[in-house]
Amino acid sequence: MIRDRSTQQPEDANDYAAAFTPSRKTRLRDCRIKQLLTVLVALSALIFVPISADATLYVIVLDEREIAIASDGKWLTASSEHSTPMSKIQEKVIRLGPRLAVMCDGLTEIDTSRVKIHAADVAKQLNYEHRSDRGSHQSMAVLAGAFGQIMSERLNQLSPEQRKQISLIRQQLATPGQQLLECEFAGRDADNKLKIETVDVFADSSGGQGGYFGYQVDQSVGADSPRLILSGEVTNLKAPFEDNLSPLGSLPSFQQWRSSFQSRRLSPVATAEALVDLAIKYSPQSSADPIGYPIYVYRLGAIGGLTRLRVVSRGHAVPLPH
């Protein structure tokens, strides 16, 4: 709340008494005004709170045999009630069914007076509706497309001022370009193949999809050769693939793992867990939104359902396999 100092009453009691002596009627009127202001301030808080974002890292290893997922355990919630993000420990890979999970990073929760946008809730509701309509044979691609469409439609309902505030908050997040959030749907599809559907929701300044926000979906299908998928705060993990002299790139263990990752069969689960551990250890100390422990590790096989394998505390992660 911004106060106009030119209309403030004197803070000293003697100065206040010297200024004027209010009548009982005036005091009652002032009391009603204060009560009204209190209500207005409370209502104004509903315009845009809370806004939740997260410094999150997901490492996914996909092949035709299994999907391995590792996630950090740090969740940050930012709202107008606090000047800095509040940190808590939270499991962020959400089970949608025995063979499907979703995980999101970026600007994942927005509450306004006009619209409520919670990425996880949208994914859960859509999955429930698709299962009800199509039984157990819903397509992951259809689900991911519907998710992107609904998220962008709800964002496009925001007022110009709310869209501006989203843009300002997005600039504080480690999301690339105009991206607001990214969600990964990981699972075994209706054709029994293991897949990752990546949904990016972004600010669309061109209005190309008829609004201010748009989305795109990218599909990865498990094959004989393993594929590494990184989502969230990935800058630290991307560096060693591009620069051998980076802190991670210069590690002998990373060099040995990278040289053998595509050429021979390594443990996807150990790879995912170890990479998240290294990213946390070598995260820049100046980072305002650090990723952190514990590490949650999951596996989804070509046969069977999604299983949480481990919750890993600091100092207990496996080394990179090589």
Q: Are residues 172 and 125 in the same domain?
A: yes
Contacts 24+ apart (CB under 8 A), 45-49: 45/80, 45/81, 46/112, 46/113, 47/112, 47/113, 47/162, 48/80, 48/110, 48/111, 48/112, 48/113, 48/162, 48/165, 49/79, 49/80, 49/81, 49/111
Instruction: For residue 1, give the amino acid letter.
Output: M
Cβ contacts of residue 113 below 8 Å, gap of 6+? 46, 47, 48
DSSP lists the bridge partners of residue 308 as 298
131 inside domain: yes
Residue 47 pLDDT exceeds 70: no
Q: Are residues 84 and 68 in the same domain?
A: yes
Q: Are residues 169 and 91 in the same domain?
A: yes
Q: Which of 76-80, 109-113, 193-197, 293-297 bottoms out in mean pLDDT, i.e. has the lowest?
A: 76-80
Q: Are residues 146 and 215 in the same domain?
A: yes
Whether 60 contacts 228, CB under 8 Å: yes
256 inside domain: no
Question: 176 pLDDT band (50/70/90 cuts)?
Answer: low
Q: Domain with 169 in it: what CATH number?
A: 3.60.20
Expressed as residue numbers, the domain containing 125 is 48-233+291-309
- Give the per-residue pLDDT at 248: 94
Task: Give me the DSSP letters along 21-80.
Answer: ---HHHHHHHHHHHHHHHHHHHHHHTTEEEEEEE--EEEEEE-SSEEEEEE--EEEEE-T
DSSP lists the bridge partners of residue 76 as 87
DSSP lists the bridge partners of residue 279 as none
Residue 279 pLDDT exceeds 90: yes
Residue 159 pLDDT exceeds 90: no
Tally the residues of the chain: 322
Q: Are residues 37 and 91 in the same domain?
A: no
Q: Are residues 23 and 100 in the same domain?
A: no
Residue 207 pLDDT exceeds 90: no
Q: Are residues 58 and 205 in the same domain?
A: yes
34 inside domain: yes
Q: Which of 204-213, 248-257, 304-313 bottoms out in mean pLDDT, i.e. has the lowest?
A: 204-213
Other C-beta atoms closer than 10 Å to the C-beta of 83 total 6
264 inside domain: no
Whether 60 contacts 67, CB under 8 Å: yes
Is the four-CA dihedral 11, 12, 18, 22 of positive or negative sign? Answer: positive
Q: Are residues 210 and 68 in the same domain?
A: yes
137 inside domain: yes
Q: Are residues 88 and 19 in the same domain?
A: no
21 inside domain: yes
Whether omega for the bond prior to residue 50 falls within 30 degrees of 0, making it cis, is: yes
CA end-to-end span of the chain, whole Å?
A: 57
Whether 185 contacts 103, CB under 8 Å: no
Pairwise pLDDT comparison (293 vs 47), residue with the higher score: 293
Q: Are residues 154 and 102 in the same domain?
A: yes
Number of domains in the chain: 2
Q: Are residues 56 and 112 in the same domain?
A: yes
32 inside domain: yes
Residue 287 pLDDT exceeds 70: no
The alpha-helical segments, DSSP class H, found in the chain are 13-19, 24-45, 119-134, 140-155, 160-170, 235-242, 252-261, 268-281
Q: Are residues 148 and 178 in the same domain?
A: yes
Residue 157 pLDDT exceeds 70: yes
105 inside domain: yes
